[in-house]
């Protein structure tokens, strides 16, 4: 066969001039290629690769990329690590001494603030003292209302005498008797009121990045009893929320009584408490009557104790007393947690029903609600003598004690501090401070978790709404921090206050973290991508790569030979 006759292909036409292989030779070598042919082929391979790398790859990356809005990750981390805010709580105190001159009072306040600042350095509360006899006398506008007003009564005043101190339930004022005149004594009284607050705040901060070592010192001084009580208070209370739904339910095993004077009872016992708590949360109230409520089969049920003549409920059964499967205690609709209050009226045959060990008739279910048992004292009088309404309706008088129990349980369930016992206003103010702190801490940790999540999962998309929510949350966090330091705790017309800002921040951060479109696409497995790409990229990639490698090798050899020749 004549090699020339076959060589008419376009790319390999440059055979002329090359040596024809000797016919007798056993091994022929291909003619060396001309530089032009080589260049053409290399240009072709190069252009293919250029298209793949320059057009295909960016296109592929662009079409398969996920949208990630930019988040202020460093600020989020600062909050999570506790660097963004140095938590201090302003505690403005106003001192009023009726009958004293201004100079005398200024002198007293000077020595007071020196005394209080001395231990304020390792506490969380920043005490500032102002003086003034008249309420309308403005104190510095940077600070909100005074957290505590100290009133020193004159010696002859009929109110207080001697070395007594008194708190008013409705106002945040401390009334001191004429015996307590010394700055040291007054400072002691103030410390006594504020130390539970200091402890509670230190307890909240402990274990979080916001805890500063000096708080640790403060904690070390706490006794174990107060820590245990703080623990108990914390586990009982609901998560801070803007709205609580209170649901009062009457459960009856038979079909009587089927009505209760709940509206009157609520108006008498609950409404004043809820009005006082309005600064902390909103409350909605709903009531229901449920007949034919039976015990859950999982509990042993009450047993009759001959000795006392009472039906006793074992302590183990208390947790299963509320028959969750059958009693309609579904949470209320809308934002917020539902606090359930269950009143159980045992059947006449099972009355009186009490808890075995304590003999009590009410108990609290942590983070769920309260249960109370009402034993109607009727076996002595025959049923016929009572009128129809008496049998079927529980009067407000019947409910008095129950409502007191429920009110007590409610304060525990929303985490109202128990001290200072004398003043509800001071307790609520303390709760506001703790609430704001707890919300601030949880928001900071949520933002930190979101930042870690974004960092760990490079595949998840981040929509713009998340970035907006994070921004809102951070802005409110800043405000909350400033408000805490300035002592603006409660909501006013112009300002949300520390609690309001912390709540807004918490809501926004939760919204960002639980964004549904982010959660939905976290998992897009790599196997799936391989299954789609291999059939296409395999057969196309192999010739491309082989040709590329071959040309690279050829070029490398050529270079080496050139070097050798020279």
Partner 1 sequence: MKLAQLLALPATLISAVLAIPEYSEHLHLRPLPNGYLYAGFNFTASTSLSAYESQHFRYFPRSLGQILQHSDTRELHLRFALGRWDDESWGSRPRDGKREGGTGVEIWSWLDSGGGKPAVEERWSSLVNSLSGLFCASLNFIDGTKTTRPVLSFEPEGTHRGGGNGMELLHGTLPHEVVCTENLTPFLKLLPCKGKAGISSLLDGHKVFDANWQTMSIDVRPICGLGGDCRLEIQQTVDIVLDIKRSMRPRNDPIPRPRPVEELECDESKSYHASDTCYPKRKEGEMAWSLSKIFGTPVRGSCHVADGDESHDISLEVSPDRAVEVSHGGSNDTLASHEQNQLVRTMRLPDSARQHTDISLPQHIFQDSPHQNRPTLYASRQITGCGQERGGMHTVLHNPHTHQQRIVYLESLPWFLRPYMHTLKVLTHPTNSHDRPTIPLKPDQMYYTPALDRKRGTHLELLLTIPAQSTVELTYDFDKAILRYTEYPPDANRGFDVAPAIIRVLPSTHNTHNTSTAGNEIGQDSYFRTTSLLLPLPTPDFSMPYNVIILTSTVIALGFGSIFNLLVRRFVLAEEVPRSAVAVRVAGVLGKVRGVVGSLKGRLRGGGQGRGGGGVAVGVNGVAAEGDGGMNGVSSVVESRKER
- Interface contacts to partner 1, rule CB under 8 A: 1, 3, 6-7, 9, 11-12, 21, 26-31, 33, 37, 41, 44-45, 48, 247, 254-259, 262-263, 284-292, 294, 326, 328, 330, 332-334, 388, 391-393, 531-532, 535-536, 538-540, 543-544, 547, 551
What's the closest the beta carbon of residue 390 comes to partner 1, in angstroms?
11
User: 3-state SS string over 468-519?
Assistant: HHHHHHHHHHHHHHHHHHHCCCCCCCCCCHHHHHHHHHHHHHHHHHCCHHHH
**For residues 295 and 363, which CB has a smaller minimum distance to partner 1 in the complex?**
295
Q: Which two tokens stand for residue 448?
A: 């930190």
Using the minimum distance from each CB to partner 1, give the nearer residue, 140 or 531. 531
- Cβ neighbours, 10 Å, residue 439: 27
b or e along 223-238 (b: 16 or more beta carbons within 10 Å of the residue's beta carbon)? eeeeeebbeebeebbb
Distances (CA, A) of 58 to 16, 66, 301, 458, 473: 44, 14, 71, 18, 36
For partner 1, the closer CB: 254 or 463: 254
Least distance to partner 1 from the beta carbon of 535, Å? Answer: 4
Kindly tell me which of 266 and 504 has the beta carbon lying closer to partner 1: 266
Q: How far is the CB of 214 from partner 1 (least distance, A)?
A: 48
Prior bond of 485 cis (ω within 30°): no
Q: Nearest to residue 254, comparing CAs of 345, 351, 384?
A: 345
Q: Which is nearer to partner 1, 45 or 69 (CB)?
A: 45
**Secondary structure (H, E, C), 57-82:** HHHHHHHHCCCECCCCHHHHHHHHCC
CB of 258 to partner 1, least distance (A): 5
Residue carrying the six token digits 């003619």? 31
Nearest distance from C-beta of residue 393 to partner 1, angstroms: 8
Specify burial of residue 136 (Cβ count, 10 A radius: 0-12, 13-18, 19+).
exposed
CB 361 within 8 A of CB 376: no
Smallest separation, CB 209 to partner 1 (Å) = 39
Q: Cβ closer to partner 1: 394 or 438? A: 394
Between 217 and 531, CB nearer to partner 1: 531
Least CB distance from residue 551 to partner 1, whole Å?
8
Q: Do 361 and 344 touch, CB atoms closer than 8 A? A: no
Q: Quote the CA–CA distance of 502 and 481 in Å, as a whole number.
A: 9
Shortest separation between residue 272's beta carbon and partner 1, angstroms: 18
By beta-carbon proximity to partner 1, the closer residue of 100 and 327 is: 327
418 vs 514, which CB is nearer to partner 1? 514
For helices 183-205 and 224-236, angle between their N-to-C axes, nearest 10 degrees = 50
User: Closest distance between partner 1 and the C-beta of residue 35, in Å?
Assistant: 14
- Residue by residue, DSSP assigns 434-450 as HHHHHHHHHHHHHHHHH
């Amino acid at each position: 066969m004549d090699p020339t006759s076959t060589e008419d292909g376009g790319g390999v036409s440059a055979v002329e001039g090359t040596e024809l292989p000797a016919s007798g030779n056993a091994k022929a070598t291909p003619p060396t290629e001309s530089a032009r042919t080589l260049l053409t082929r290399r240009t072709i391979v190069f252009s293919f690769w250029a298209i793949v790398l320059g057009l295909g790859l960016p296109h592929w990356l662009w079409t398969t990329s996920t949208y990630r809005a930019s988040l202020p990750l460093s600020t989020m981390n600062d909050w999570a690590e506790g660097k963004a805010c140095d938590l201090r709580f302003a505690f403005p105190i106003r001192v009023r001494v009726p009958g004293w001159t201004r100079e005398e009072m200024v002198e007293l306040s000077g020595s007071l603030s020196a005394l209080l600042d001395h231990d304020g350095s390792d506490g969380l509360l920043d005490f500032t003292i102002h003086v003034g006899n008249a309420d309308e006398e403005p104190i510095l506008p940077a600070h909100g209302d005074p957290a505590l007003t100290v009133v020193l009564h004159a010696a002859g005043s009929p109110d207080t005498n001697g070395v007594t101190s008194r708190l008013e339930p409705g106002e945040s004022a401390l009334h001191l008797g004429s015996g307590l005149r010394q700055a040291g004594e007054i400072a002691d009284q103030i410390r006594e009121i504020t130390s539970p607050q200091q402890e509670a705040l230190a307890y909240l901060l402990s274990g979080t990045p916001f805890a500063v070592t000096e708080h640790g010192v403060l904690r070390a001084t706490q006794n174990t009893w107060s820590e245990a009580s703080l623990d108990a208070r914390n586990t009982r209370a609901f998560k801070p929320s803007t709205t609580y739904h209170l649901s009062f339910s009457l459960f009856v095993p038979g079909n009587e009584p089927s009505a209760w004077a709940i509206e009157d009872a609520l108006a008498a016992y609950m409404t004043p408490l809820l009005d006082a708590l309005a600064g902390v949360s909103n409350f909605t109230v709903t009531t229901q009557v449920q007949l034919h409520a039976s015990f859950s089969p999982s509990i042993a049920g009450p047993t009759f104790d001959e000795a006392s003549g009472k039906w006793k409920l074992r302590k183990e059964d208390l947790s299963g007393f509320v028959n969750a499967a059958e009693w309609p205690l579904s949470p209320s609709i809308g934002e917020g947690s539902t606090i359930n209050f269950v009143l159980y009226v045992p059947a006449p045959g099972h009355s009186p029903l009490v808890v075995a060990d304590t003999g009590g008739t009410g108990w609290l279910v942590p983070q769920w609600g309260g249960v109370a048992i009402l034993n109607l004292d009727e076996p002595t009088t025959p049923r016929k003598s009572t009128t129809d309404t008496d049998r079927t309706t529980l009067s407000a008088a019947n409910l008095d004690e129950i409502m007191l129990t429920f009110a007590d349980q409610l304060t525990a369930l929303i985490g109202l501090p128990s001290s200072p016992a004398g003043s509800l206003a001071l307790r609520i103010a303390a709760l506001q401070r703790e609430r704001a702190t707890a919300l601030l801490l949880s928001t900071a940790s949520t933002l930190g978790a979101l930042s870690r999540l974004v960092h760990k999962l490079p595949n998840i998309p981040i929509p713009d709404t998340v970035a907006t929510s994070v921004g809102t949350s951070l802005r409110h966090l800043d405000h909350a921090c400033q408000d805490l330091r300035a002592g603006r705790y409660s909501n006013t017309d112009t300002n949300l206050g520390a609690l309001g800002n912390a709540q807004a921040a918490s809501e926004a951060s939760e919204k960002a973290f639980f964004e549904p479109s982010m959660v939905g696409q976290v998992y897009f497995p790599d196997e799936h991508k391989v299954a789609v790409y291999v059939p296409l990229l395999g057969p196309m990639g192999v010739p491309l790569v082989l040709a590329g490698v071959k040309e690279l090798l050829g070029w490398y050899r050529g270079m080496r030979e050139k070097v050798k020749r020279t």
